[in-house]
Each structure stands twice: as structure tokens, then as C-alpha cells.
Amino acid sequence: RKEVEQDPGPFNVPEGATVAFNCTYSNSASQSFFWYRQDCRKEPKLLMSVYSSGNEDGRFTAQLNRASQYISLLIRDSKLSDSATYLCVVNRPGNNRKLIWGLGTSLAVNP
């Protein structure tokens, strides 16, 4: 089993739709979780950290489910500019500087 797994997609949704991605992780001792966004041929950029209580940033909501070992990202009222690959990132326990990256979920928002 991979340490971090994501559905690669692609997810094709119309503008205004709500879309959700899940990401599962294998090590129950992981403590730090992030969502990064990567545009085509660009570098990854931090979208948001994921906290135990869940957190929201505008149209984006991130949640953590420790019991089932997954994190989720919900995008409401999707925009054309949300089209990108979304990377799930989890720390490897024992070393907070070593992060394990999922392969990403591709999102295409269509007009």
C-alpha cells in the first residue's frame, strides 16, 4: 500500500459545481497534513494546512478523519481558475521535515 494515495482523476466539473477529493494515508502516527496546488508546468504551492478540527478558507474546506486515515478537500462554487492538480501531503512520523506526497488529483473546471 502506498503511504499516500489519491484518485488521479481527472475530475471534470462545470463552473459553480462543488467537488471533493479524498486522500488516504497509511501511517496512523502522521501528524501534519497539507493540500498543495500545482498548475501545469509550474511549482507546487501551499493551498492549506489541514487541522484536526477541520478548517475553511473561502470556498475551500479541508477535513481530517484520523479514524479512517483520510483527509479531504472540498471546493465550492468552482471557478475556471481552480483547474489544477491538487496534491495531498502527509508527514512521515518521526521527522516533521520529511513529507510524503501523493501523485495528485487532476481537476478541470469547464465553462
Closest CA to 104 of 34, 12, 38: 38
Q: How far is the CB of 74 from other proteins (least distance, A)?
A: 20
Q: How many CA atoms lie within 13 A of 45 on its CB side?
A: 8
Q: How far is the CB of 104 from other proteins (least distance, A)?
A: 7
- Window of 23-31, 38-46, 51-59, 68-76 that interacts with other proteins by CB under 8 A: 38-46
* 32 Cβ contact list (under 8 Å, min separation 6): 49, 90, 91, 96, 99
C-alpha grid cell, residue 75: 471546493
**Taking CB under 8 A as the rule, which mask of x and - marks residues 89-108 in contact with other proteins?**
------x-xxx-xxxx----
**50 to 17, 35, 41, 80, 94: CA distances (angstroms):** 22, 7, 25, 24, 19
Q: How far is the CB of 87 from other proteins (least distance, A)?
A: 7
Q: Which of 34, 64, 86, 90 binds other proteins (CB under 8 A)?
A: 34
Task: Using the minimum distance from each CB to other proteins, give the nearer residue, 78 or 104.
Answer: 104
Interacting residue ranges for other proteins, rule: CB under 8 A: 34, 42-46, 49, 87, 95, 97-99, 101-104
